[in-house]
Amino acid sequence: MGINRTQELQDRIRAALNDKTMLKIVGGNSKHFYGNDVSKNTKVEIIETRIHQGIISYEPSELVLTARAGTPLKEIEALLAKNNQMLPFEPPHYGEHATLGGAIATGLSGPRRPFAGSVRDFVLGTKILSGKGDVMSFGGQVMKNVAGYDVSRLMVGALGTLGLLLEISIKVLPRPHTEVTQCIAMSEQQALKTMQELNQSSMPLSALAYEDEKLYVRLSGAASAVKSAQYKVGGETLLHADNFWQQLNEQTHPFFELSKPLWRLSVPYVSTVTLNEKSFIDWAGALYWLQSDKTAEEIQQHAAELGGAATLFRAHQVQTGTNTQERFAPLQAKIKQLHVNLKMRFDPYGILNYGRLYSDL
């Protein structure tokens, strides 16, 4: 069941306020590379959320699970699997100790995202500790809730800069009855065209990716529907398909053996990224993983021209620690101002993960 350590975490924040210490929030520390490097901030202490763990409630027929932020993703996924359910947004773990809080704070979704929804789509409620040390609850455990601003979803991807997550309620879904992956050899150009066609069809898709001259089409649903779609899609049925998708999601696929910085480009569906770099295309052409040592300006400008944005996902090892550039694409001035305003309200003394998302937040 885990232990409720809210009081301890609250005391830590209050103490930090008192001592004017900045706090770096750490869950399983599996996504430490993501976002700006804040370890060089002066007077930073680590606040660990892993101590605050445990699944608080789970009612399979309600499709809702509530857990403390420090709960290991593994534990949650195992419980869901036992009940034939899943986290539909397929959060990447990037490490054995990945926590639910980390998944929500980073807001990263896996290959199923274009067809099932993203992390934030499945967040129903949160309990947080603000930078003032206040415990607050938003949203709830119900699917429909329009009372008050949607602070719960605002937490997703905020990298802990607006509050320390204490509890999260998420919507879960039944596992598909059947799931198979078809693999078809084709050129990138052909693949983009095929992805576009499939993406507009009513086929039971759950992932569309392309790498190394091969298109991967994952189909999920009722057995008969999947079988019929398999026939229509063609190609060969991939053996050990789960491994393939897991390797993509967890970046253990050989593509992710890095010799250059890894960029993540979120772009409109089937954009043609023309940076002439080796890429892994996911999300039906809406997500490109790119290894490139081109300048941030060039990559970010290209993504922006396509209507998307580029993130420096993993700086190359050599650069780690010395890299002072922003990892995320620059924001429009007024939007940035709104970010600063919000940060000021949630964390007026700038103690929570200051600088992790943008260097001035």
Q: Of 89-108, which residues contact other proteins (CB under 8 A)? A: 107
Binding-site residue total for other proteins (CB under 8 A)? Answer: 86
Give the span between the Cα atoms of 69 and 80, in whole angstroms. 17
Angle at 48 between CA 350 and CA 39, to 5 degrees: 55
What sections of 150-284 are H helices per DSSP? 151-155, 188-199, 223-233, 241-250
Q: Which stretch binds other proteins (CB under 8 A): 226-234, 240-248, 289-297, 317-325?
A: 226-234
Q: Does the footprint of other proteins cover residue 339 (CB under 8 A)?
A: yes
Q: Which stretch binds other proteins (CB under 8 A): 26-34, 182-190, 247-255, 343-351?
A: 343-351
User: Residue type for 302, please?
Assistant: H
**Binder to other proteins among 79, 183, 186, 225 (CB under 8 A)?**
225
Rounded to a whole number of angstroms, the minimum distance from the CB of residue 43 to other proteins is 25
Q: Which stretch binds other proteins (CB under 8 A): 42-50, 90-98, 167-175, 245-253?
A: 167-175
Give the span between the Cα atoms of 235 and 253, in whole angstroms. 21
> In the window 46-75, what residues touch other proteins (CB under 8 A)?
59-64
**Binder to other proteins among 51, 78, 185, 222 (CB under 8 A)?**
222
**Binder to other proteins among 15, 17, 79, 151 (CB under 8 A)?**
151
Rounded to a whole number of angstroms, the minimum distance from the CB of residue 56 to other proteins is 12
Helix, strand or coil, per DSSP, at residue 124 = strand
- Which residue, chain included where needed, has tokens 């576009």? 196
Half-sphere exposure of 37 (CA within 13 A, CB side): 15
**Binder to other proteins among 2, 95, 221, 350 (CB under 8 A)?**
221
The nearer residue to other proteins, 72 or 355, going by C-beta atoms, is 355
- Edge-first strand listing for the sheet containing 236-237: 236-237, 178-185, 214-221, 205-211, 279-282, 287-291, 262-266, 309-314
Closest by alpha carbon to 129, among 18, 9, 22, 46? Answer: 9
Give the span between the Cα atoms of 159 and 244, in whole angstroms. 28
Q: Which stretch binds other proteins (CB under 8 A): 10-18, 98-106, 209-217, 219-227?
A: 219-227
Helix, strand or coil, per DSSP, at residue 190 = helix
**Binder to other proteins among 70, 91, 131, 157 (CB under 8 A)?**
157
Q: What mask, x for binding other proteins by CB under 8 A, covers residues 175 to 204?
A: x-x------------------x--xxxxxx
Helix, strand or coil, per DSSP, at residue 178 = strand
Tokens encoding 109: 């979704």
Q: Which residues contact 152 (CB under 8 A, 6 or more apart)?
A: 123, 124, 125, 126, 138, 139, 168
The nearer residue to other proteins, 1 or 146, going by C-beta atoms, is 146
Rounded to a whole number of angstroms, the minimum distance from the CB of residue 336 to other proteins is 8
The nearer residue to other proteins, 68 or 153, going by C-beta atoms, is 153
Tokens encoding 360: 């001035």
Q: What mask, x for binding other proteins by CB under 8 A, covers residues 119 to 138?
A: -xx--------x---xxxxx
> In the window 228-287, what residues touch other proteins (CB under 8 A)?
228-229, 266-270, 283, 286-287
> In the window 289-328, what residues touch other proteins (CB under 8 A)?
306-309, 311, 328
The nearer residue to other proteins, 256 or 269, going by C-beta atoms, is 269
Rounded to a whole number of angstroms, the minimum distance from the CB of residue 151 to other proteins is 7
Give the span between the Cα atoms of 45 and 59, in whole angstroms. 37
